[in-house]
């Protein structure tokens, strides 16, 4: 009995000092099978991944201002979503083969936006007009609408109406 108690005491002593050691037990003693390896320091090559990748902004500051002015004139009284749809029409036209390739050229194309003649005016554009532009430049709500009007006589094929605008493609 005394021998079993001593063996338990030794086992408890060894395992409390060496909790990570691999051990082999038998009825009379505890034996450490292998030593705990020392920590190994590995030199790593430091790679700088913090280099900034310079991408062109999706639109210029001037285009953003021009588009926000157009939205202010064309979508006064509309909520943010209504303003975003107006932005979509312009951006979708830029992407379409049927229209010019720049925001400026799309907006000033003859007989397209009746408010274009006022866009040089010095006006206080509301923040929600800029918000609509910024949101749509990142991700458009609708990629097919090319036309809108304040009545149901729209060009193209009717798609939907929202607020005071009818949209077509």
> What is the mean pLDDT of the segment spanning 60-89?
96
Q: Give the mean pLDDT of the chain.
A: 80
- In the sheet with 165-168, reading across from the earlier edge strand, the strands are 147-149, 165-168, 158-162
- Residue 2's pLDDT is 45
Task: Give the residue extent of every domain in the chain.
Answer: 2-34, 61-168
- Residue 120's pLDDT is 84
Closest residue by Cα to residue 96 from 120, 82, 112, 80: 112
Prediction pTM value: 0.66
What percentage of residues in the chain have a pLDDT greater than 70? Answer: 66
Q: Under CATH, which number does the domain 61-168 receive?
A: 1.10.10.2520
**How do residues 82-100 score in pLDDT, each as one tens digit?**
999 999 999 999 999 999 9
Q: Does the pLDDT at position 3 exceed 90?
A: no
**How do residues 98-136 score in pLDDT, each as one tens digit?**
999 999 999 999 999 999 998 987 888 999 999 999 999
**How do residues 19-38 score in pLDDT, each as one tens digit?**
444 444 555 555 555 666 66
Q: Say which residue, 63 or 153, is predicted with more confidence.
A: 63
What percentage of residues in the chain have a pLDDT greater than 90? Answer: 57
């Amino acid at each position: 009995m005394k021998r079993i108690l001593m063996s338990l005491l030794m086992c408890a002593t060894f395992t409390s000092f060496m909790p990570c050691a691999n051990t082999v037990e038998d009825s009379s003693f505890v034996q450490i099978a292998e030593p705990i390896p020392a920590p190994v320091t590995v030199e790593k090559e430091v790679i700088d991944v913090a280099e900034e990748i310079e991408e062109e902004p999706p639109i210029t500051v001037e285009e953003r201002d021009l588009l926000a002015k157009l939205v202010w004139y064309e979508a006064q009284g509309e909520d943010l979503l209504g303003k975003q749809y107006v932005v979509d029409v312009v951006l979708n036209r830029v992407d379409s083969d049927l229209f010019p390739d720049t925001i400026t050229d799309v907006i000033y194309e003859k007989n397209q936006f009746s408010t274009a003649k006022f866009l040089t005016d010095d006006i206080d554009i509301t923040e929600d007009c800029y918000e609509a532009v910024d949101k749509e430049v990142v991700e458009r709500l609708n990629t097919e609408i090319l036309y809108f009007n304040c009545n149901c006589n729209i060009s193209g094929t009717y798609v939907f109406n929202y607020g005071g605008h009818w949209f077509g493609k």
